[in-house]
Each structure stands twice: as C-alpha cells, then as structure tokens.
Amino acid sequence: MAHTSIILRVELNHEQVTFGDVAAVISQAGGDITSIDVIRPGKDSSVRDITVDVTEAAESQVVEALKERTGIKLINVSDRTFLVHLGGKIGVQPSMPIKNRDDLSRVYTPGVARVCTAIHENPRKAYSLTIKRNTVAVVTDGTAVLGLGDIGPHAAAPVMEGKAMLFKQLAGVDAFPICLDTKDTEEIIRTVKAISPIFGGINLEDIGSPRCFEIETRLSEELDIPVFHDDQHGTAVVVVAGLLNALKVVGKRIETVRIVVNGIGAAGVSICKMLLAAGVTRLVPVDRDGAIVNGGTYPYPMWQWLAEQPQVEGVSGSLKEVLPGADVFIGVSRGGLLNAEDLQTMAPDRIVFAMANPKPEVDPEQALPHVRVLGTGRSDYPNQINNVLCFPGIFRGALDCRARRINEPMKLAAARAIASVVTEKELNEQYIIPSIFNEQVVTKVRHAVIEAAILTGVARRIPPDFR
C-alpha cells in the first residue's frame, strides 16, 4: 500500500479537546503519528504541527475526521512530498568564489579568452578545461513519464530533476534536466546534437516507444559521446542483475526457465534483448494485443526482430492465457493487470518482477504470499528493481574512461557487477538486489564498465586507477 507523509497544522481548543483526543482521532482514521512540533503554546489554545504517516487511501479519512471533531481547527495540510519539490530539487554551484578583480580577470574576460583559444586549437581540451568531462544531459520529451504516459515536458521535470540528484549524490556526476517541447523525432535528434558540445554524455529518459529506438540509435551513431536510453538499458541491466540472483535463490537455470515479459516498449524490448544475450531460451514477449509470437508479422521493427528469434515461443494469447507455467514474470507495462489467482497459474518457485511505476502490474501485498521472489520498481518494498542501480555507475565509468559509447559488453558487465554486490551468503528471497545506498554498487559498476570499455576499444582514456 502506498504511504505518504503529511504535516497537519491544527489548533486545539483546550476546553474541548486534549492532545490525546487528537492523537486518537488520527490513529482511528488510519494515520500513524511520527512527530509533533508545538508552533504556538497557550493556556486556552495551542497550535501544533503533527507529522503523520498515512496510506494514500487513509489520507482523506484523517483530514475529514479532524475537521469533524469539535475543538480541533485544521489550519493546513502539507504533503511532505510536495514540500521537497518547492523551488525544484537542484541548483548550479560555482567551483570557486570570485572574490576580487584578479579572480574575475581569470575566470572571465580577459583571461578566459586564452582558454577558449586553447580549446579552439585542440577541441579535446574541452574535457580538461570545461564541465564537459563530468556533465550529463538528462533529456526527455515527456511522452512516457514513469507509467504516467504522455504528460508533457513541464510535468516530466520533477522526474528529471530527481534523476539529476541521484547522478550527483550517488556518482558525483553533474546532470542537467533538458525537457524538450517537441515529440518530433528529427527535431529531438537535431536539438540534442545541437546542445551536445557541453555534455560528456546523454541520458535519454522517458521518451515513448517506438520513437525512442530511432532517437537513441541515430544519436549514438551521430555523436561521439555516450548516448544511453535509461528506460531501455538501465532497466534491462538491473532486471538481468536481479534475475541472475533470483534464479540462484530458487535453484533454476537461466537456460531453462520460461519468462513472460509484459509491455514491449522501451524497457521491455531492451530487457528481452538482454535476456536473450544472457542465454534465455524460452521467452514470451507480450504487449496490449497479446503475445508477440515466433513467425508473426508486426508493425514495429523491434517487435518484428523479436518474432524472428528462435527463443521466442510460437503460442499466441493474452497475458493471462500465456502466463500459466511461466517461471518468471517481468512487467514493464502498467499497473494493476494481474491478481493473486493469475500468479498461482505460474510454475512453482515463481519469480515476479512487477516494475510499472508508480503502481506495479500486481499489488505487492496480494502477490507476496504467492511468489518466491518479488521485485518492484518502488522503494517501499524489498528488492527494488530500478534503473537507479545502473545509470549513476554506468555513466561514472563511461565518463572516467571517456567512452565513445556504452556497448553491450559494458551493460552485461554492469549487470554482473550489480548482482555481485549481494554475496552468496547474504542472498535470500528478500535480498536479491542491493540497495541504491550500498556504496559498492557505483564503485563496482564503474570498475566493470571501464574494464569492458577498455577491452572493447571504446575507451579514449585510461583512468589512473587502471594504469
């Protein structure tokens, strides 16, 4: 059940209620008080801020119960999630203060002109003399934002700012949100190319399929910095990492399990491709109209490619029709598609990764009693299968070795590195994938990615710790 944290500012009339009464009202309506601050004490009345942890469903019940109670005046309700977004979540920091004219003449004109000329004469110096070496653009057109769909570039910004925060906090990468007001493939490609000189890498985010495939392919071909569509490859890397460990827990082999992937969009296509590369032999890709079957004819090149793979099954049907007997279900589609009975048709020791955000394909509370391993994209359940485990470390590695691109061996190395953070001893149903706060994740992913980049010849620099 989704939880949220709200702050209730209430005024208590002491002749009519005690704080104990207020606490009882909140608790009976389903709220859990986590802290209390006295804003204005007083003999006859007082004002307090009460922080309450509450399910989304119970939030309005708590508010209504307080409003109805005589002696309590509800002054304000603030949602802590909205509070952390006030004014946006990131800013730009200069790397040194400008204290005097001397500083000014070096960081700005006239001194800066010599630096500009040096870069003009040798463009590679942009990596040492500008922010390029550590800066990534997080580019979206707002068309496939989480599982919310086409909500546009303004509404997409909080997610992109969140990605930028994670890049910085987890991997020290400076990332900047670029929310484009166009859905035109050519215009997006042109714009990203035009803004690329200042960036060391491009992270494409929440761009709907099938346009995202052409945008990524073309930008990768036409730019000499790494271009990585996070929803495709970041997600696939983390799914493969989680699956490698989950299969160890249930004692099954990747070569023999039957896997149903639901939602063959950006994330689903890349997951299927990576599963095939990792050795999967029984794959059932499913989208809205049912299974994509071997030998079928499909409108999108990526679906057609899947239909031509021998490992893809030839049996058609809806999700519920093809699910029986599956060892693994991977959902990257939309929330609320399956229930407990559907899961019970799967093979024993089932693994379910229900990753649609914010609402998974199956309610985790319903699923938990019926599966051996459950993963979701969310942070409020164990096994968070989220691309945040991948993108900070993969870009840290790619930037540090100035990789031209992020290739398949680099992605597979990243998946194995993430899986390896959980040791054999630690591995269990509740812990198949490390937490994003485990510092080993970025360190190991970075190392594995640089090693793979050097081995495959896409690194343009050998970082000092590899010399």
Minimum CB separation of residue 287 from ligand NAI in Å reads: 4
The residues in 231-250 that bind ligand PYR, with binding defined as CB under 6 A, are 231
141 lies in the binding site for ligand PYR (CB under 6 A): no
* Rg, the chain, Cα only: 25
C-beta closer to Mg ion: residue 207 or 352: 207
342 lies in the binding site for Mg ion (CB under 5 A): no
Kindly write out the interface string for residues 197-236 of this chain, putting x where it contacts ligand PYR by CB under 6 A and - elsewhere. ---------x-----------------------xx-----
The residues in 349-408 that bind ligand NAI, with binding defined as CB under 6 A, are 355-357, 377, 385-387
Judged on CB neighbours under 10 Å (0-12, 13-18, 19+), 467 is exposed
C-beta closer to ligand PYR: residue 61 or 357: 357
Minimum CB separation of residue 289 from ligand PYR in Å reads: 23
Catalytic-labelled residue, pool 163, 273, 359, 444: 163
Separation CA 347–CA 257 (nearest Å): 10
280 lies in the binding site for ligand NAI (CB under 6 A): no
Kindly write out the interface string for residues 221-260 of this chain, putting x where it contacts Mg ion by CB under 5 A and - elsewhere. ----------x-----------------------------
Kindly write out the interface string for residues 54-83 of this chain, putting x where it contacts ligand NAI by CB under 6 A and - elsewhere. ------------------------------
Which of ligand PYR, Mg ion, ligand NAI, none sits in contact with 394, Cβ below 5 to 8 A by type?
none
Kindly write out the interface string for residues 80-119 of this chain, putting x where it contacts ligand PYR by CB under 6 A and - elsewhere. ----------------------------------------
Q: Specify the stretch interacting with ligand NAI by CB under 6 A; choose among 20-28, 121-129, 156-164, 282-290.
A: 282-290
C-beta closer to Mg ion: residue 209 or 294: 209
C-beta closer to ligand NAI: residue 356 or 417: 356
Whether 108 is catalytic: yes
Which of Mg ion, ligand PYR, ligand NAI, none sits in contact with 262, Cβ below 5 to 8 A by type?
ligand NAI
Residue of 240, 176, 182 lying closest to 211 (CA atoms): 182
Residue of 261, 206, 202, 263 lying closest to 231 (CA atoms): 206
Catalytic-labelled residue, pool 43, 67, 89, 108: 108
Report the alpha-carbon angle 397-403-409, nearest 5: 75
Please identify the residue of the shown chain whose CB is closest to the bound ligand PYR. Answer: 357
Q: Specify the stretch interacting with ligand NAI by CB under 6 A; choose among 27-35, 186-194, 305-313, 326-334.
A: 326-334
Kindly write out the interface string for residues 121-150 of this chain, putting x where it contacts ligand NAI by CB under 6 A and - elsewhere. -----------------------x-xx---
Please identify the residue of the shown chain whose CB is closest to the bound ligand NAI. Answer: 265
The HSE-up count of residue 324 (CA atoms within 13 Å, CB side) is: 8
Out of 220, 245, 262, 407, point to the residue binding ligand NAI (CB under 6 A): 262
Q: Under a CB-based contact definition with an 8 Å cutoff, are residues 436 and 385 in contact? A: no
Minimum CB separation of residue 210 from ligand NAI in Å reads: 8
The residues in 184-223 that bind Mg ion, with binding defined as CB under 5 A, are 206
Minimum CB separation of residue 134 from ligand PYR in Å reads: 22
Lookup: tokens for 48: 């307090």
What is the CB neighbour count within 10 angstroms for residue 268? 30
Out of 146, 276, 427, 436, point to the residue binding ligand PYR (CB under 6 A): 146
Out of 134, 209, 245, 383, point to the residue binding ligand NAI (CB under 6 A): 209
The three state secondary structure string of the chain is CCEEEEEEEEEEECCCCCHHHHHHHHHHCCCEEEEEEEEECCCCEEEEEEEEEEEHHHHHHHHHHHHHCCCEEEEEEEEHHHHCCCCCCCCCCCCCCCCCHHHHHHHCCCHHHHHHHHHHHCHHHHHHHCHHHHEEEEEECCCCECCCECCHHHHHHHHHHHHHHHHHHHHCCEEEEEECCCCCHHHHHHHHHHHHHHCCEEEECCCCCCHHHHHHHHHHHHCCCCEEEHHHHHHHHHHHHHHHHHHHHHCCCCCCCEEEEECCCHHHHHHHHHHHHCCCCEEEEEECCEECCCCCCCCCHHHHHHHCCCCECCCCCCHHHHCCCCCEEEECCCCCCECHHHHHCCCCCCEEEECCCCCCCECHHHHHHHCCEEEECCCCCCCECCHHHCHHHHHHHHHHCCCCCCCHHHHHHHHHHHHHHCCCCCCECCECCCCCCCCHHHHHHHHHHHHHHHHCCCCCCCCHHHC
The footprint of ligand NAI on this chain (CB under 6 A) covers a number of residues equal to: 29
Q: Which residues are near Mg ion by CB under 5 A?
A: 206, 231
Q: Which residues are near ligand PYR by CB under 6 A?
A: 146, 206, 230-231, 357, 377, 386-387
Active site residues: 108, 163
Q: Which residues are near ligand NAI by CB under 6 A?
A: 144, 146-147, 208-209, 231, 235, 262-268, 286-288, 319, 332-334, 337, 355-357, 377, 385-387
